[in-house]
Amino acid sequence: MQSTETSFSFSDLAISAPILQAIREIGYETPSPIQAASIPYLLAGHDLLGQAQTGTGKTAAFALPILNNIDTSRREPQALVLTPTRELALQVAEAFQTYARHLPDFHILPIYGGQSMDVQLRQLKRGVHVIVGTPGRVMDHLRRQSLSLDGLTTLVLDEADEMLKMGFIEDVEWILEHTPPQRQIALFSATLPEAIRKVAKRHLREPKEARIEAKTATVEAISQRYWPVSGVHKLDALTRILEVEDFDAMIIFVRTKVATEELAEKLEARGYSAAALNGDMNQGLREKTVERLKKKSLDIVVATDVAARGLDVERISHVVNYDIPYDPEAYIPRIGRTGRAGRKGHAILFVAPRERRMLGAIERATRHRIREMRLPTREDIAERRVEQFKELVMGTLEAEELSFYREFVQHLAKEKNLSALDIASALTFLAQKDRPLIPAEKAAPSEHFDETRESRKRPERSDRPERGEKRERKEREYDDSGLLYRIEVGRNDGVAPKDIVGAIANESGIPGKSIGHIKLYDEFSTVSLPADAPKQALKRLERTFIMGKPIQLRPWTGEAPTTAKPRRKTGYPKKAE
């Protein structure tokens, strides 16, 4: 089957309600071509030979049918996904976790070299439904019989041509020989060299084909740049960019409806005219928001892909991809919202370290090299503010009748024995009091609500002592009114309390100072969170990963810990009531 367009929605497919709910929340509405070509065959139980480029949405093409057929009551591996690299294994595992957010008691495990074998052994012993792994580590587990594939119903070979290039093809065949004879196989590859076709011929049974031609596009009228997310929090970085970019109107794309509201509120608090645009808004409110954008009473719209469809406002000069799109096919429609009517457009993309593969896929899809941008410095911001203030002053001199004000300044100078320069300096200070021409040396750290987990670097301490000075030890103050929770990451995973604080703050929006006692055990940890923490924030934490593991946040019930005593702690957890 070869396809380039999709004429039906996910709701037309035989996919269960919990998975459809997750798809809607992510913002997916219609399947991408590879999804439309693959999902019906896989749901029907056929083997599949899929040809599609990286970043065309093929992860969902096999993940959704697998999740639809998982029996969560069977705590054994029912699906195995082989990937060429640990990075792809983690990416695929996180995608599964996202799509399975409403499947109760679903467990997935990424296994790869470089990670503690003991950790993997413990999790395999507990029972998992889906394994995502690299060939070498999967073979290790099969040899030591810590992984059984007796209950396997589906096997996916993801990026088979990459596994061929990396010399894994013999390992893949060895693994295939250790799978049950009656299992479904889906092989995905960007190209189909002879060696891959031979593997397909030997192991796939009357496979259906899903072949998607690589689509490329070039958006000549749009300047494209990316910022590698690191160190500075995304919101702070976005604010810096807004300070120096000369934009008329802007769309900022995020992945979730919740993020549209939160980011719009944060930007408004920082003085920008911003509003959310998401699928929960009724048509009347949506139209009102777009009309405000057109009439220049609104400058920034924070939107999801679905909500921005059909949005055509000529004054949009900038598009910011605050969250990189899951599918590169969504990138071109996003940035196509700017550069209209022959005008120059600008697109900025935030790329976290683990999303570099997606950046490459976007560059291939657009046939355009996206250049890295330098984050504006404090000096850049100061220079920009000074220029804007100069323009404001000159515009006022040209457009306004100022004779009364000149007389006022002259009278004040004479009365108080001041120079006109002194008075102008004081008035400039008052005019820019809320937005100083020279920004403060260090801005207060922002509250973290970002969807991604890459910007976890903690704010620098302003009270760092000079060399030779002795720092006075300060005890961290805790709020003992919190509730205690258990998370499934512990000392054996190499986690530290600061990792837990950073992840919870980033994912939930709960300020770090409100996170209470953290106690590390071998296989899990406990953490105290505010009793009034929003349910939505706690829900997001149920799907959060720390050290590559889903933490599965749940209230502490006082269950007995492992025999090993906690080694590192930031306090002592309260006994559960």
- Say which amino acid occupies 530: P
- Helix ranges (H only) for 127-216 are 135-143, 160-165, 169-177, 194-203
Residue 130, token pair as written in the block: 């889906």
- Percent pLDDT > 70 in the chain is 84
Residue 413, token pair as written in the block: 């100078």
Looking at residue 178, its pLDDT comes to 92
Which of 100-114, 270-284, 330-344 shows the lowest per-residue confidence on average (mean pLDDT)?
330-344
Q: Where are the beta strands (DSSP E) in 423-506?
A: 483-487
Q: How many other β-carbons are positioned within 10 Å of the β-carbon of residue 206?
A: 6
* pLDDT of 26 higher than 60: yes
C-alpha pair distances (Å), 220 with each of 7, 336, 339, 345, 370:
29, 11, 9, 9, 12
Q: How confident is the model at residue 388 (pLDDT cuts 50, 70, 90)?
A: confident
Q: How confident is the model at residue 85 (pLDDT cuts 50, 70, 90)?
A: confident
> DSSP states of 310-335 as a string?
T---TTEEEEEESS--SSHHHHHHHH
CA 186/CA 209 separation, integer angstroms: 10
CA 299/CA 253 separation, integer angstroms: 14
Asked whether 301 and 293 are in contact (CB, 8 A), the reply is yes
* pLDDT of 59 higher than 80: yes
Looking at residue 460, its pLDDT comes to 37
- Percent pLDDT > 90 in the chain is 32
Q: What is the pLDDT of residues 214-254, one digit of tens each?
A: 544 446 678 999 999 876 688 988 988 988 888 999 999 99
Residue labelled with tokens 């093929």: 58
* pLDDT of 210 higher than 70: yes
For CA atoms 47, 53, 59, 60, the dihedral sign is negative
Predicted TM-score (pTM) of this structure: 0.47
Looking at residue 219, its pLDDT comes to 61
Which of 158-172, 176-190, 270-284, 549-563 shows the lowest per-residue confidence on average (mean pLDDT)?
549-563
Looking at residue 179, its pLDDT comes to 93
Q: How confident is the model at residue 443 (pLDDT cuts 50, 70, 90)?
A: very low
Q: How confident is the model at residue 58 (pLDDT cuts 50, 70, 90)?
A: confident
221 φψ region: left (φ > 0), alpha (ψ -120 to 50), beta (else): alpha
Most confident of 35-39, 88-92, 254-258: 35-39
351: burial class by Cβ within 10 Å (0-12, 13-18, 19+)? buried
Instruction: Name which of 182, 246, 216, 439 is nearest 328 in CA terms.
Output: 216
* pLDDT of 2 higher than 90: no
What's the rounded mean pLDDT across residues 288-300?
A: 91
Which of 176-190, 258-272, 331-345, 541-555 shows the lowest per-residue confidence on average (mean pLDDT)?
331-345
What's the rounded mean pLDDT across residues 419-433?
A: 86
Looking at residue 7, its pLDDT comes to 59
Asked whether 203 and 185 are in contact (CB, 8 A), the reply is yes
Q: How confident is the model at residue 309 (pLDDT cuts 50, 70, 90)?
A: low
Q: How confident is the model at residue 440 (pLDDT cuts 50, 70, 90)?
A: low
Which residues does residue 271 pair with via DSSP β-bridges, in sequence order?
none
Per-residue burial over 210-249, b = 16 or more CB atoms within 10 Å of its CB, e = otherwise: bebeeeeeebeebbbebbbbeebbbbbbbbbbbbbeebeb
Q: How confident is the model at residue 293 (pLDDT cuts 50, 70, 90)?
A: very high
- Helix ranges (H only) for 44-103 are 58-69, 86-99
Q: Could you give phi then psi for residue 357, rounded to 5 degrees? A: -60, -40
Asked whether 257 and 278 are in contact (CB, 8 A), the reply is yes
Asked whether 571 and 515 are in contact (CB, 8 A), the reply is no
Looking at residue 568, its pLDDT comes to 39
Looking at residue 572, its pLDDT comes to 35
* pLDDT of 8 higher than 80: no
The domains located in the chain, with CATH, are 10-211 (3.40.50.300), 222-376 (3.40.50.300), 379-431 (no CATH), 483-555 (3.30.70.330)
Q: How confident is the model at residue 446 (pLDDT cuts 50, 70, 90)?
A: very low
569 three-class SS? strand
Residues 6+ apart with CB under 8 A from 123: 107, 109
Q: Could you give phi then psi for residue 193, rounded to 5 degrees? A: -65, 170
Q: What is the pLDDT of residues 502-560, one digit of tens each?
A: 788 877 778 777 788 888 888 888 988 888 888 888 888 887 888 778 888 988 876 54
